[in-house]
Amino acid sequence: MSAARFKPHGPLGMGGAPLGNLFTAIPDDLATGAIVAAWDAGVRHFDTAPHYGAGLSEHRIGAALRHHKRGDYTLSTKVGRLLEPAAEVPEIADNFQHGLSFTRKLDYSYDGAMRSIEDSLQRLGLPSIDIVYIHDCGEDWLGAAWREQFDVAMAGAARALTKLREEGVIKAWGFGVNVVEPCILALERSDPDIFLVAGRYTLLDHTALKELLPKCEARGARAVIGGPYNSGILAGGTTFNYEAAPPDLVARAKAIGAVCARYGVDLKAAALQFVVAHPAVVAAIPGPRTAQEVTQNAAAMAQKIPLDVWAELKAEKLLPAEAPTPTE
């Protein structure tokens, strides 16, 4: 185990998938404006990936952050997909619109990870990356044979990232996934520092609470929670995991929102502050598209929430009794 775990900036970060034109194309000036607004609001934790717009998100985040002192913020990106130049690419690829002229090639090998980091540094235009996650190495993306690719990643990318951490090239590594199983297996087989888990620890989804987060605590590893609004249902929308939310989750979200409303609390504030109350969680990183959304997220994280809100949510069995909640 590492002598000292890297602690990233928090508790509020910025997820970079929307800046890669996830579902909706964003003009460059609006994307830059969102990043600038995040910095002005005190956000110092930025996450991106080659996958996001085939490099577009990395370009945009790097261009905005290179004006700031490198040690003043946490930057993470990912390995697992190499970008290959392509003369023609589809208008929409993996739900990203109008990405850059590259195709994605799955590669969890040692050499692939090393090349991916070098490529990311070029796209970012920055001298270093703090955290590197092994991206989407789970059943949701890879299907029933995901364990085969996981074994490749552990023998390849994980070994490369461990070497880079030991050499001080990066500060931490882990898995960036939408499911908890790869993270649990990685803790059993290696020494990861941190996990980016999207949507699996929220007001509505407590998947990570039973096993992953306690194991992180026991090992001294940390967690960053992406998708704290479950893609929209906890922010006034109607989607859960980017699909129409099923009726039972719609009803549950409305019930949670009703409790919050009785106390004058924004549902988004409860969603963000619940996530970071867990001792293993160091940051929540919603993915804003605009400066206005950034400002709303910052206000939500800062809103004072009466302790009675959490007590009532547990009393109505809308939150697990064992779930940590804010104490101030």
Residues designated catalytic: 47, 52, 78
Cα-based angle 140, 225, 257 (whole degrees, multiple of 5):
100
CA distance 195 to 70: 22
CA distance 77 to 117: 8
Give the N- to C-terminal CA distance of the chain in Å, as an integer: 33
Q: Phi and psi dihedrals of 196, rounded to 5?
A: -105, 110
CA distance 96 to 139: 21
Strands 131-135 and 74-79: parallel
Cβ-based neighbours of 94, under 8 Å, separated by 6 or more:
51, 104
CA distance 93 to 97: 7
